[in-house]
Amino acid sequence: MVARELHRGSASAGSTMTGLRDMGVHFSELGGFALMSPAVVERELAPAVGDDLWGRLAADVTGDDATDRGVIIPVTVDESGHCRIGFRFDPGAEEVVAPAGPLEVVGNRVVMMKLASLLAWDPERSLFALDVPDGWYAVRVVSGRGDEVADLTVTVALSPTAGPVRRTADLDLRLAADGTRRTPGMVSIWTGRFGDEERLWEHVSLERPHRGPAGSVFMQAMGLGWYDQDRSSTVWLRRADGTTSMDLPEGAFAAAVANDLARRPDDDAAVLLYDLDARDLPEPPGLTPLRLLGAYRY
């Protein structure tokens, strides 16, 4: 698949859906966990190891350049519309455990970094791939160290959710790059189908709208309006009904997206990631921090 970047707020009418679309954000400030496509991995990691990224991964790269970039778990969507997460597999483990080293995803090589090093991808090692159908899933990520300082392991558990709102997912972001635990955030992962980029952005965008003050269908459904100042990739939203409560229902953002977009069985697929509980950020009175982490398209 051909990887292309989908820039926030820049969708054009009639655009085609060729290859994997991605919008990469570095998530080290969210506890060292990230989902990135091969194109984003190349862009983010190449400066740390030189132009010949894959050729030089055979040698460990240590120091701040590696540590500061966090841990990367790759994900993509295959031709059948399934999410595939590739990682090394220990058949003796009760759960799937991935050493924070190189991984493979659907025909492309990508890497997951250790805290203090980059390791080479070894095609001879056993790889295990999960095929995850479209929908919401509970995602659990448990991070811990082995005997060595650099021995970070990551356990990933996926399970379909139940209840009236069937498409709600939370992702625990607990382990910071320095090994300390932070207040976990809540990330919603949604896979669905859209006709083109413009329709995707019209319905789920959290960027400042180009046409009119109402914002996307997603924002209107949640009664959200814009704060006066943007803070890089963080979007600060104010309740349009004038309330200042920060206690929005758990999964409310995810439910709004799912309920609206699940009724649109169109041609192409996307995976959207939102940080719904960015507690590491300052909280202006009456505002809710909501960060769009990534949008992966094919």
pTM value is: 0.27
Beta-strand ranges (E) seen in 151-263 are 152-160, 187-194, 224-226, 234-239
Which tokens hold the place of 198? Answer: 């413009």
Q: What is the pLDDT along the chain (298 residues), one digit of tens a residue?
A: 112 222 222 222 222 222 222 222 222 222 223 333 344 445 544 554 444 443 333 333 333 433 333 333 333 333 333 333 433 333 333 333 333 332 222 222 223 333 223 333 333 333 333 333 433 333 333 333 333 333 333 333 333 333 222 222 222 222 233 333 333 333 333 333 444 445 555 555 555 445 455 566 555 555 555 444 333 334 444 444 443 333 333 344 444 444 444 444 443 334 344 444 444 444 444 444 444 443 333 2
Strand order in the sheet with 137-145: 97-99, 152-160, 137-145
Amino acid at 243: T
Question: From CA 204, how far away is CA 280, in angstroms rounded?
Answer: 24
Matching residue, tokens 């269908």: 217
Question: From CA 173, how far away is CA 40, in angstroms rounded?
Answer: 20
Rounded (5°) CA angle 34-256-246: 75
